[in-house]
Amino acid sequence: MIPATVASLSESMAAQDYVLSEGLAVSLFLALRQSRPLFLEGEAGVGKTEVAKTLAALLDRRLIRLQCYEGLDINAAAYEWNYARQMMQIQSAGQGKLESADLFTEDNLIERPLLEALREDARGAPV
């Protein structure tokens, strides 16, 4: 459950051994209240992943980590096609073992972090 105030969010995070700065507490609170994503950026080791891990634990949600770097393209971030599976379907269709080879279904999709983050599960949207 999303804390009702910025102060209660800070207290809840502190109970999980993470002390929020006032600015980060307000940003997290507003993102949660408005159901909006919050992108954290900064140098390695400043605590971006730890904030996400703590928040995921607090909200009982799964954590999806997308590590961004120069050269990261949409295929690596969002999805990729399972070419080996598609090739096996093509071969099976060619041998008459399949009536139809629909190669572009979710069965042939390999979800990457960005696409996975868009899908909710029973616990709700991921962190």
Q: What is the pLDDT of residue 100?
A: 61
Domain ranges of the chain: 6-60, 70-127
- Structure tokens of 88? 């096996």
**Along the 127 residues of the chain, how does pLDDT read in single tens digits?**
889 999 999 999 999 999 999 999 999 999 999 988 888 888 889 999 999 999 999 999 888 887 777 887 777 777 778 888 888 888 887 777 666 667 778 888 888 777 777 777 777 767 6
CA-based nearest residue to 109, from 78, 71, 77, 82: 82
| Buried-exposed string 73-95: b where 16+ CB fall within 10 A, e elsewhere | eeeebbbeeeeeebeebeeeeee
State how far the Cα of 53 lies from the Cα of 62, in Å rounded to an integer.
9
